[in-house]
A and B are shown apart, each in its own frame.
Chain A
Amino acid sequence: MFKARITVTLRPSILDPQGKASHHALTELGFTSISSVRIGKFIEMDIAAGSVDAARAQAEEACTKLLANQVMEDFHIDIDEIVST
């Protein structure tokens, strides 16, 4: 069993008004060293697969078909094997 941790973010070229508004609020709070904020989605999935590569392939297909809209979003996948204790 594998755990996929996926982040979906707006493409860098696309204005992220949520990130911009949050950045503005952080600056108001005194976080003046933070120069940019982008907001995205975090998705966690458990995948039954025979190998890391097979799990990654499934996660990638899930992202392409549903979880991310590649017209405006990019995705990043991290996979870890779940070790039962």
Chain B
Amino acid sequence: MSVRFGVIVFPGSNCDHDAYHVAKHVFGQEARFIWHKEAELGDVDFVIVPGGFSYGDYLRSGAIARFSPIMKDVVRFANSGGLVMGICNGFQILCESGLLPGALMRNESLRFVCKNVHLKTESLDSPFTQGLTSGEVLRVPVAHGEGNYFASDDILDQLEDQGRVAFRYCNENGQVTKESNPNGASRNIAGILNEGRNVLGMMPHPERCAEAILGRPDGARIFTSIVDALSVGA
């Protein structure tokens, strides 16, 4: 049975089609777009809150999208154990909505950063990462101006103690260094999980590198993990 992906579309989303394409055409699963004005997600197994500039990033990135009607149902879905993945602007929206702790601040360099980065896989204990290997290094692009993950030291300690840091920025050898941090994120954090480990937020874009024609398809590792986790569970 195929996995039913739902991709939320806000005014200003621009990675929604990439996510849809990967789910439907690369992985051969079911996928549909869900307009942000909808009140209910309907029958979906997996929700992607995609990247882009929802509401033009007005006020703060993700701050207004978080009040879109569909977000109520996304929160309900997540709180009942449904799998939700926020990518880039989607990560910002999930933080604003309270599904994930912390916030994404302006990049330390003040520059919009658009390049490939390396990610060290820190936690395999989630549906998103269960198919990866411990410490596995993925090369995935980032494209953001506000990806500087911030949270209080208490929250950061908690994330680390509970193994909820999914990915950290690293160099190509998997070493977590200051130089490999593209945005100044606290403790090189690129992606985190919620307490239930069913919500993942990450700044890098696995949906942009999930097929061989685009180069190293490292992003597919994450989608394979998700599809396998949901297919086994079905």
Q: Looking at the complex, which one of B67, B102, B110, B151 makes contact with A21 (CB distance below 8 Å)?
A: B110
- Decide yes or no whether B93 CB sits under 8 A from chain A: no
* A51 close to chain B: CB less than 8 A: no
How far does the Cβ of B42 sit from chain A's closest Cβ, in whole Å? 28
B81-121 CB mask vs A (1 if < 8 Å, else 0) is 00000000000000110000111011111100000000000
How far, in Å, is A37 (CB) from chain B's closest CB? 14
How many B residues touch the partner, as a band?
Answer: 20 to 34
**In whole angstroms, what is the CA distance A15 to B109 when docked?**
11
Interface membership of A1, Cβ < 8 A: no
Alpha-carbon gap, A69 to B110, bound state (A): 19
Determine chain B's interface SS by DSSP, over half rule. Answer: loop
- Tell me whether A67 is interfacial, beta carbon within 8 Å: yes
Q: Interface residue tally of chain A, by bracket? A: 10 to 19
Taking a contact as CB atoms under 8 Å apart, the answer to whether A71 and B59 are in contact is: no
Instruction: Judge whether B67 and A66 touch: CB under 8 Å.
Output: yes
A50 to chain B, nearest CB (A): 27
Number of A-B contacts (CB under 8 A): 33
The reply to whether B103 and A72 contact each other, CB–CB distance below 8 Å, is yes
- The secondary-structure label for the interface of chain A is mixed
What residues on B are CB-neighbors of A15 within 8 Å?
108, 184
Query: Which A residues touch B132, using CB under 8 A?
Result: none
**Are the CB atoms of B151 and A67 closer together than 8 Å?**
no
Give chain A residues whose Cβ lies under 8 Å from the Cβ of B101.
71
Asked whether, in the complex, the Cβ of B108 is within 8 Å of the Cβ of A67, the reply is no
Residues of chain B having any CB pair with chain A under 8 Å? 59-60, 63-64, 67, 95-96, 101-103, 105-110, 150-152, 184
The 7 closest A-B pairs by CB, nearest first: A71-B103, A72-B103, A17-B110, A69-B103, A17-B108, A72-B150, A69-B60
